[in-house]
Structure 1
Amino acid sequence: MEFALNEEQQLFQRQTQQIIKSKGDLEIPRAYSEGKEEVLDDLWTGLAELGYMGITVSESYGGLGMGPLTLVPILEEMGRAVIPGPYIETVSFAAPLLEKYGSTEQKEKYLTELATGERKFSLALLEGNGEYAPSNINVRATEKGNEYVLSGEKILVAHADFVDTLIVPVRTGMSEQDISLLLVDRDSTTLQLEKQISMDETRKMVKVTFNDVAVPKSQLLGQENAGWELLEIGVRGLNAALCSNMVGGMERIVETATEYANTRVQFGQPIGRFQAVKHKIVEMKMNLETGRSLSYYAGWALENNTEDVVEAIAMARSLITEAFIKSANDNVQIHGGMGFTWEFDCHFFLKRAKTLENYLGSPEDYREEIVNALVSDKESVAVGR
């Protein structure tokens, strides 16, 4: 099994490096955090011109028709610069779901606009108690003629004020599993948006309130009451993408920590000569390479729909999430008091790592998912015998 990047993927990696560097590299998240949101518009336009928005969109809708593995080097480079915005939610979540479950009309409208960068997506999933479970979906969609009328609220919706369409899980029946997915366009509905405080200023969080919002039934993605299964499938792609993104952040942390350890002098010698600092950097490097291997395999399993795709992605998500947090925290410690200052870049990575810690589930949740998948596999083998 070959996990090295092929020539085409290496080309995407170099192009991504070039455009991010031309737009300012780590000055992008810094400017965005300071309220200069135009830097995200500028970057989005640049990526769209290169065709990056349509990577996972089929050629018939103006995309490149490539799979999750092609996204790996692109997402790693974005992670290296802590790039803001809903790129992952749009390209790794919305596009594959629309390709697989969208109606012909939905594909023609949304995939075509997505591929050109005209339409951005986010997932409006979380509600009240913060649990990622069908029982926690309480935004109700009541049928009224040819429409659904939505009432309730979603919290911590990433970049809801920047995107054009929200994919919203709603309750459409009495059973716990009676969840459906709706495509809610901001330009044709009136939504109440309220910005929420986020530890990571590069991931703007918004509370979205639905006050009897009418959505045409034609906006139903997939079958009614089958939305949770679709959501789980979509989240696999989202998690695989997040793993690649975090690996990119870990790689930048290793480089930053190593460079600082070789140049910062204390007691007459670089601090990198001290055993405590050496050990931290070595552990960072080991976690990086382990995480990268798991990330590549998760992407490969997703693209090839292998039997172990669920546990492959869950393993990567659990380990990489925790390793990213530890590496980011150790990097701050290596930089000492300077690591806590706004002028240094260490805090961007720590904030991103902590923000993603419980996004779509905690590391413990993913370990539980691994156990459930392994037990299910074992039961399937037993039945087969």
Structure 2
Amino acid sequence: MDLGFSDEQDMLRKVARDFLAKECPEALVAAMETDALGYSPDLWARMAELGWQGLAIPEQYGGSGLGIQDLAVLLEEFGRALVPGPFLSTVVHVGTALLLGGSDDQKREYLPRLVSGELVGGVAYLEASGQLRPEGVQLAATPDGDGYVLDGTKLFVENAAAANLLVVAARTGGVGADGLSLFLVDPTIPGVAVTPLETLAGDKQAEVALSGVRVPASALLGGEGQGGQVLARVQLAAAVAECAYLVGLVAQDLDITVDYVKHREQFGRPIGGFQAVAHKAADMVIDVDACRFVMYRAAWALDEDEPDAAFHVSVAKSFISEASLRVVSHGQQLHGGIGFTREYKIHRYFLRQKAGELRWGDGDFHRARVADALGI
């Protein structure tokens, strides 16, 4: 295992950091929190020009054919800049579902549109139970002639208001993973109602209600009953991507905080000179470095298709969910009262961390999976 960065990855990191510093300033991040779509179409188009949406898409569909580790390098920079928008839900969630479950026709139709930036998507998975396990999916897909009728409600669907394609998990039989199927659904067709949900982090989630929505058989992603296998892999890729974003987020939170304690004076000297402050900053460094290691270890395991890849992903998501909270909490505390004001950027990092901590399984969810892997 070699977790060192290649020259190409170092270049990707530099280009991304320079580009986002200019094109995704704090003012844009703040504005997108109250924007209906939650992202800048102009920025989205410019990222597509750089090839970012197609980074992990095979070359035959117009992408670069790189791996999850390369994508993680980019997503670290996204986390540093708190880039808003549907990149993860489109590129990682929908992209993974199409690559693993899509037919040749579906890949040819949708993947080039994803690479070009035309496609904006999300995965509609969670329901009222909030369960990530297959048993949580109750939305029904009933065979009807040469198609299916979908009935049910999905919650916390990322970027649904901006999407022109949703991957909807539905139950076609049984109670477990074997009874799940995935469908490609245009959220603008009759019977689909998208209702935005208000969140503390300002991220764009929605309730998606499907009432008698008829889709053709060609909308089935993979075979009937094969959705559980595809979703399992989507969960792994999504968890690693969320970890990469969180690693960048806490690294920037650390940089902002260290700069602050070096220059903020109290009692005639910088507050970083006080042991209690210095030790909290040291704890932040330790957590950030540990987060980065376990994240890239998990990304490497997925790229190499290791048998225990799911174990490493759960180790990473469990640890990073909780370590990242420690980092942003220290960041707020070391800033004092200003760290708890919404107008100051350090508080925005705290709110975004909490959202990322919970997505695709929190620490407890993944800790249970690690324990299962140990046979406990």
Q: TM-score range by the shorter chain?
A: over 0.9
3-state secondary structure, aligned to 1:330: helix
In structure 1, the residue matched to 2:45 is 45
Within a 5 Å distance, the mapping from 1:155-170 to structure 2 comes to 155-170=155-170
Quote the offset at 1:20 in angstroms: 0.9
> What TM-score comes out, normalization by structure 2 length?
0.96
Within a 5 Å distance, the mapping from 1:118-133 to structure 2 comes to 118-133=118-133
1:353 aligns with 2:353: yes
Percent identity between the two aligned chains:
33
Runs of 4+ off more than 6 Å: none
Within a 5 Å distance, the mapping from 1:107-122 to structure 2 comes to 107-122=107-122
Matched AA of 2:100: K
Residue pair 1:31, 1:37 contacting (<8 A) in 2 also = no
3-state secondary structure, aligned to 2:160: coil
Residue pair 2:317, 2:362 contacting (<8 A) in 1 also = no
Quote the offset at 1:75 in angstroms: 0.2
3-state secondary structure, aligned to 1:320: helix
Matched AA of 1:179: L
Residue pair 1:310, 1:373 contacting (<8 A) in 2 also = no
Quote the offset at 1:190 in angstroms: 4.2
1:184 aligns with 2:224: no
Q: Distance in 2 between matches of 1:319 and 1:270?
A: 32
Quote the offset at 1:24 in angstroms: 3.5
Residue pair 1:122, 1:160 contacting (<8 A) in 2 also = yes
In structure 2, the residue matched to 1:288 is 288
In structure 1, the residue matched to 2:197 is 196
Within a 5 Å distance, the mapping from 1:63-102 to structure 2 comes to 63-102=63-102
Quote the offset at 1:303 in angstroms: 0.4
In structure 1, the residue matched to 2:30 is 30
Residue pair 1:149, 1:212 contacting (<8 A) in 2 also = yes
1:54–1:189 distance in 2 versus 1, CA, 3 Å: farther
Q: Distance in 2 between matches of 1:354 and 1:155?
A: 18
Q: Distance in 1 between matches of 2:136 and 2:37?
A: 33
Q: Distance in 1 between matches of 2:187 and 2:57?
A: 22
3-state secondary structure, aligned to 1:53: coil
Unaligned runs of 5+ in 2: none
Quote the offset at 1:89 in angstroms: 2.1
Within a 5 Å distance, the mapping from 1:337-376 to structure 2 comes to 337-375=337-375
In structure 2, the residue matched to 1:312 is 312
Q: Distance in 2 between matches of 1:324 and 1:210?
A: 36
Residue pair 2:92, 2:241 contacting (<8 A) in 1 also = yes
Residue pair 2:37, 2:162 contacting (<8 A) in 1 also = no
Quote the offset at 1:326 in angstroms: 1.4
What number of residue pairs does the alignment pair up?
Answer: 375
In structure 2, the residue matched to 1:134 is 134
Quote the offset at 1:153 in angstroms: 0.5
> What TM-score comes out, normalization by structure 1 length?
0.94
In structure 1, the residue matched to 2:325 is 325
Q: Distance in 1 between matches of 2:38 and 2:86?
A: 14
Cα-Cα RMSD: 1.6
